[in-house]
Amino acid sequence: MTEGFPLRGKWNSDFFCNHQPIVTELGCGKGEYTIGLAETMPVKNYIGIDIKGARMWRGLKTAHEAGFRHVAFIRSHIELIEYFFGPCEIDEIWITFPDPQPKASKARKRLTSPLFLERYRHVLKEEHIIHLKTDDKGLFEYTMEVIATGNHQLLYHTTDLYQAGLKDAAAEIQTYYEKIWLEQGKPISYLRFRL
């Protein structure tokens, strides 16, 4: 793909006007994680992506009110990620509580499927990190299998994030629904890997 969105390959120079790493949250919903990351690590640029503009509006409004110049949102299907970003433009991807697509017939729609990982490969820098945070045991196990069969580099994993003692953004930032699941005693799984 040689053409695309006008900022493709130029997010740092033409939008953020800095050279900070770019972090994306895929399926960002209301942008809670995007905003949380921007608050805790302002030395990076953040872009939330979701197809539902009505939900994403909340994150955009919060970023605007806080004066965050290092936050942006894109309303789009994740399948079009290569349209919005150039080769080696993204440093990190966060996938937080995506639709697990539990039916086997929907496996290709899972945001950690080999099909999606191949799309991400084209826009990620060499030393990238992909994070997955989920309450769905099936999606977590599926992703572990994808990592193993694809010979990807598993950097960390746990099936109970808040019992693991991890002290970073994965444990420090919680979404609205995540807090509800934790109150119900539901464990949160987390992993990070590199293609």
Which residues form the catalytic set?
99
Number of Cβ within a 10 Å radius of residue 5: 16
Query: Where would I find the beta strands (DSSP E) of the chain?
Result: 22-26, 45-50, 71-75, 90-96, 124-134, 153-158, 189-194
Amino acid occupying residue 17: C
Give the integer Cα–Cα distance in Å for 23 and 13: 15
Give the integer Cα–Cα distance in Å for 13 and 72: 14
